């Protein structure tokens, strides 16, 4: 059972932190991307505000937290409040606290300050600060570690890196832990950062590489000229740009036996999950035939659920035509002629492609759609591409749909596909 969700995502005025904030943006197909040379989703929140939201963390530690760790703490606090759980009262002491990261924001400055410190002249307070900073710099991506410290947890705690499928992989782990009785409650967070300046530089380097593509083995250099300097438009005729974003998304999962006695409100249930890979030799490619995605979905459904029972699919197209291609081919294979009536949308253009949070964010969005009985439009999709086998719900208005089951899809560069089946509380 999913009983809580919290976020720290780009917003129009302030950060998107609650389920209500998220629904307000996604249900109207709004884009929270800003333009500064490239389109990018930035979380605008000062450290002073972060400390006010999370009092009680010693400054000796908090001053060394990376943005990723701060974002993860904010979304954890919001999800706990949403679930009716008090972190400081010990409600998460027994929880499994799992986090996912795709990129690394190594705290190089802390290493350099320690490296160049003069042990003969440094004061004791300065030395303690340098020591703590260099120690924390050793695990700058370990969001689960700082979350567990806040919760004083005694359960499993670890961060994994599985690219853009990181939090989806951790949702799978939480599902297995709860199903096996290893844990009754799990906190799953996806958090990532994408530096705008790095995106600009990567685009420049890619264009140079493409000019000399004839000098390297075929398939080594991407030929699709995906850029970052136009708004991303999933499923639209003009698709071709990808906009990155940053932020965090946290979900709280509980067994029915743990949630029911405390009267927890349930958004819905995670019913099944599966992961597959395309089987390609290239470490950065995806098979456009959709074969890997078909395998993941079929493993997820098994013999228990029929694909025809699922009237909505939450896709993960980020505006890259390659992603849309394998999604379309997979849907054709899975649904056949029935795909014509399928609603399939993506909200990547709301906050930017944010990597590791994609799994938790997609599941959270899908749960809200299940609860409201409304499908959110595909943000920035105004003129759908001709060859789509499904309805991407273009425009800025939700589409009503009475359904009990939905699929959430997440992908990792290199051909990894993840599928999660979701249902209403009594499905």
Residues 6+ apart with CB under 8 A from 347: 26, 29, 361, 365, 376, 378, 379
In the predicted model, is pLDDT for residue 283 greater than 90?
Answer: no
Helix (H) or strand (E) holding 149: helix 143-151
pLDDT digits (tens, 9 = 90+) for 59-102: 877 777 888 888 999 999 999 999 999 999 999 999 999 999 86
Quote helix, strand, coil % in the chain, to nearest 5: 40, 20, 40
Name the E strands within 60-195.
96-100, 157-160, 185-192
What's the whole-number average pLDDT of the chain? 88
pLDDT digits (tens, 9 = 90+) for 253-269: 999 999 999 999 999 99
Q: What is the mean pLDDT of residues 125-134?
A: 73
Domains of the chain by start residue, with CATH: 2-105+140-197+229-423 (3.40.47.10)
**Among residues 133, 59, 140, which one has the least CA distance to residue 99?**
140
Helix (H) or strand (E) holding 36: none
In the predicted model, is pLDDT for residue 219 greater than 60?
Answer: no
* 259 and 1 Cβ atoms separated by less than 8 Å: yes
**Among residues 185, 242, 261, which one has the least CA distance to residue 358?**
242
For β-strands 247-254 and 185-192, DSSP reports them as antiparallel
What was the pLDDT predicted at 135? 62
CA–CA distances in Å: residue 246 to residues 137, 233, 252, 289: 20, 18, 21, 30
pLDDT digits (tens, 9 = 90+) for 190-208: 999 887 777 777 777 766 7
Helix (H) or strand (E) holding 272: strand 269-277
């Amino acid at each position: 059972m999913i009983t809580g969700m919290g976020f720290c995502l780009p917003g129009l005025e302030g950060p998107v932190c609650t389920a209500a904030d998220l629904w307000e943006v996604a249900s109207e197909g709004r884009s929270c991307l800003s333009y500064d040379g490239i389109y990018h989703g930035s979380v605008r929140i000062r450290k002073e505000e972060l400390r006010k939201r999370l009092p009680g963390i010693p400054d000796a530690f908090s001053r060394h937290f990376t943005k990723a760790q701060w974002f993860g703490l904010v979304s954890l606090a919001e999800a706990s409040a949403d679930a009716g759980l008090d972190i400081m009262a010990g409600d998460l002491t027994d929880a499994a606290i799992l986090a996912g990261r795709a990129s690394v924001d190594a705290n190089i400055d802390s290493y350099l300050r320690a490296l160049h410190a003069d042990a003969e002249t440094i004061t004791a307070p300065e030395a303690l600060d340098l020591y703590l900073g260099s120690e924390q710099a050793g695990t700058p991506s370990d969001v689960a570690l700082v979350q567990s410290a806040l919760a004083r947890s005694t359960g499993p705690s670890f961060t994994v890196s599985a690219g853009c499928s990181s939090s989806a992989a951790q949702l799978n782990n939480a599902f297995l832990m709860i199903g096996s009785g290893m844990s009754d409650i799990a906190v799953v967070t996806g958090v990532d950062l994408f530096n705008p300046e790095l995106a600009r530089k990567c685009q420049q380097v890619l264009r140079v590489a493409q000019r000399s593509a004839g000098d390297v083995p075929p398939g080594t250099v991407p030929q699709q000229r995906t850029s970052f300097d136009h708004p991303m438009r999933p499923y639209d005729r003009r698709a071709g740009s990808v906009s990155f974003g940053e932020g965090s998304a946290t979900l709280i999962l509980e067994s029915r036996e743990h949630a029911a006695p405390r009267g927890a409100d349930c958004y819905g249930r995670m019913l099944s999950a599966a992961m597959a890979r395309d089987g390609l030799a290239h470490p950065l490619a995806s098979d456009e035939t959709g074969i890997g995605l078909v395998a993941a979905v079929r493993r997820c459904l098994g013999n228990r659920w029929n694909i025809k029972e699922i009237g909505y699919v939450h896709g993960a197209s980020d505006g890259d035509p390659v992603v849309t291609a394998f999604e379309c081919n997979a849907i054709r294979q899975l649904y056949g002629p029935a795909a014509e009536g399928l609603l399939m949308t993506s909200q990547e253009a709301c906050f930017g492609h944010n990597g590791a949070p994609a799994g938790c964010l997609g599941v959270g969005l899908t749960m809200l759609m299940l609860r409201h009985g409304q499908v959110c439009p595909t943000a920035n999709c105004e003129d759908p591409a001709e060859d789509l086998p499904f309805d991407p719900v273009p425009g800025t208005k939700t589409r009503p749909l009475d359904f009990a089951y939905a699929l959430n899809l997440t992908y990792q560069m290199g051909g990894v596909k993840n599928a999660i089946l979701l249902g209403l509380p009594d499905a």
